[in-house]
Structure 1
Amino acid sequence: MAFEVIPAVDMRGGKCVQLVQGVPGSEIVSLDDPLAVALEWVGQGAKTLHLVDLDGAIEGERKNAPIIEKIVEACSKIGVSIQVGGGIRSFEDAASLLELGVSRVILGTAALQDPGLVKQLADSFGNECVTVALDAKNGKISIKGWTEECAHTPVEMGQKFEALGAGSLLFTNIDTEGLMQGVNPLPTKELVESVSIPVIASGGVSSLDDLHVLKQTGAAGVVVGSALYTGRFTLEGAIEAVRTTR
């Protein structure tokens, strides 16, 4: 599988934003038209888009659902995969997105609070449709928009959710997320080596070198946000860079 660079389209209050460390009010980017942003990334070569309803993640209410629906409708026509997270708290929430045409739903808090939901969705829609988000701070899992910490490690939870039927994992290192100071590959590498399903990395990418470092962990891809939005590199440049490195 080729290492994939996946642009993030994070939404809060109907706008496309980038937060520092996931903290509301810390926006470093705020753009009025998430659909236009999504289509711009597609135009630059994105094969997958990473959509996050931050209102859903933080407050539990998927306020940006109408915008997500528009993006899915536009992108599914041209063969672009969509993965969606943020505020998916129930089987019904996830099923409605998958029936809409979303390729993968990303379960974070809901999976950790109700692990059986992962198995239920995998049984109903297939393993490949279910991604579990493992967001870690100081080596421990965080939930509820990164406001609460659990006692479990990413490796423990990764192995558990693989056994329950998750088709992939999204691993975010909160310690580096949004700081634009580079990545720490060790937690990603440890998780990749502990499971047999694909792991997508996230958090802290600020240069093309960071992409190379994460590719070498064995991760299947990386979600990139702030570095693209602040012009550290272009999506086209990132796709070319990972294509030509081993």
Structure 2
Amino acid sequence: MGDAFEVIPVIDLRHGLVVRARAGMRDSYAPIVTPLAKGSAPADVARGLIEATGAATLYVADLDAIVEGASPDLASLRRIAAACPGVTLWVDAGFRDRDSADAFLSEELGRPVIGSESQTDAALVRALGDRAVFSLDTRGGQALGPACLHADAQAWPGEVIVMTLASIGTGAGPDMARLAGLAAAHPGRRFYAAGGVRGPEDLAALAAIGVAGALVASAIHDRRLGRGAVTG
């Protein structure tokens, strides 16, 4: 690969706090306990993740917006942005229509992530293009969202998250076969693994098959990944 493999730390927000994700069972997520911060305040955890990794991008999943259709938690996002100057935020707040995505873009808090699970068709993904990141969501091998978004790669922007929800926080390892197939079939796009990354060996294996980066939370909080993983 011409570009360095990128590790993107992950924050899951719920009711204004950072929660610990596991297997995509969002209703059971509890406030995080991590050696990287005192408490679960978003700004503190975000700062700890960036200090631990040196990452240039931070992914934020606003679970209240994704699951319950709430408005994006702009107050928490502003605190995260202030705590991590120079870091680009990728924000999934369950964007379902152009108005909500445009309103978020007007805040200049980062790039919207458009999750397939939140869509009814390909219109929003096509309309935003490379201003957004697309998340190709699955759970237990089942594609989430409209089939056309999974089947029609022409609708995808240049950066695509391959989100395996059932593997999040489980240490089960990335879905290497699916990722390898996507990277081989679409060499012009940058794919990011999400779910199951355990440590440096997984990152090396992902880089070897042409994956551009990985979204990681548990392995960073558990000190299995740090700065060397991002720059190596």
Q: TM-score, normalised by structure 1?
A: 0.80
- Matched residue, 2:71: 62
| 1:37-88 residue CA offsets vs partner (Å, 9 max, x unmatched) | 112222331110001101111112135332012223454xx32111100322
Tell me: higher relative CO, structure 1 or 2? Use CA pairs within 8 A at least 6 residues apart: 2
Among 177, 189, 195, the alignment partner of 2:180 is 189
In 2, are the aligned partners of 1:53 and 1:86 still within 8 Å (CA)? yes
Three-state SS of the structure 2 residue aligned to 1:95 is helix
Partner of 1:35: 43
- Matches of 1:113 and 1:61 in 2, distance apart? 18
SS at match of 1:178: coil
**Distance apart, 1:3 and its partner CA:** 0.8
1:113 to 2:104 alignment: no
Secondary structure of the structure 2 residue equivalent to 1:61: coil
Partner of 1:16: 18
* CA root-mean-square deviation: 2.3
Scaled by the length of structure 2, what TM-score is found? 0.85
Alpha-carbon distance in 1 for matches of 2:90, 2:172? 26
How far apart are residue 228 of structure 1 and its match? 1.4
Kept in 1: contact 2:18–2:32 (CA 8 A): yes
Q: Residues of 2 paired with 1:72 and 1:101: CA distance?
A: 10
% identical aligned pairs: 28
Gaps of 5+ in 1: 144-149
Equivalent in 154, 160, 163 of residue 172 of structure 1? 163
Match of 2:7 among 2, 5, 11: 5
2:223 pairs with 1:214: no
CA distance in 2: counterparts of 1:180 and 1:62, whole angstroms: 31
Tell me, yes or no, if structure 1 residue 89 matches structure 2 residue 111.
Answer: no
CA distance in 2, matches of 1:28, 1:117: 32
